[in-house]
Amino acid sequence: MLWRIYFYRSGQVLAEALATAGDRARAGRAVGAAHVLMVIGIMAVAIADGIVQVHPTDQVQPAWLAMILGGPAIFLYGRIRLERLVFNRFSMRRLLSIAALMVLAVPLAFTTPLIAATAAAGVLLGMAVADARHAAGRPPEAPSPPF
């Protein structure tokens, strides 16, 4: 799902956005920083996957929950920054997904890693479905970088 969320619109036209940016160096640095955030999020998701595989039914530990919910949240934050750099807009859907992950942290603190990971995957699936519904029947959008 992370792949689908990444490539929805911004990832598809990233090269064009960088080519049309007025300040390519600044845009390139900012895009690099957004990608670093997304990679950190992906690494946290990989750690979370390992936790779920080894301790699927144990009581979730706070550090485990930080990886399980924080990984997708960090990835989505990086993706928000990327969308800002490519289309010069703020993604409310992604912010709401991050908020959903944060709100879920409280009840999920009393469950298992498997349940927490399933909830995080559900939030990401909802994000991917919302993106697909938003794009349905619309022509591809041209980039409009802020720099």
The stretch 5-19 carries a mean pLDDT of 80
Q: Is residue 18 part of a domain?
A: no
* Closest of 83, 79, 66, 84 to residue 120, by C-alpha: 66
**Is 72:120 a contact under the CB 8 Å cutoff?**
yes
**Is 146:88 a contact under the CB 8 Å cutoff?**
yes
Q: Is residue 51 part of a domain?
A: yes
Q: Is residue 98 part of a domain?
A: yes
The tens digit of pLDDT for each residue in 87-132 reads 899 989 999 999 999 999 999 999 999 999 999 999 999 999 998 8
Per the structure, the complete domain to which residue 72 belongs is given by 2-12+24-134
Neighbours of 90 (CB within 10 A): 11
Give residue 82's pLDDT: 93
Q: Is residue 144 part of a domain?
A: no
pTM of the model: 0.92
Q: Is residue 145 part of a domain?
A: no
Q: Is residue 140 part of a domain?
A: no
Q: Is residue 75 part of a domain?
A: yes
Q: Is residue 146 part of a domain?
A: no
Q: How many domains does the chain have?
A: 1
Side-chain half-sphere exposure of 137, counting CA atoms within 13 A: 1
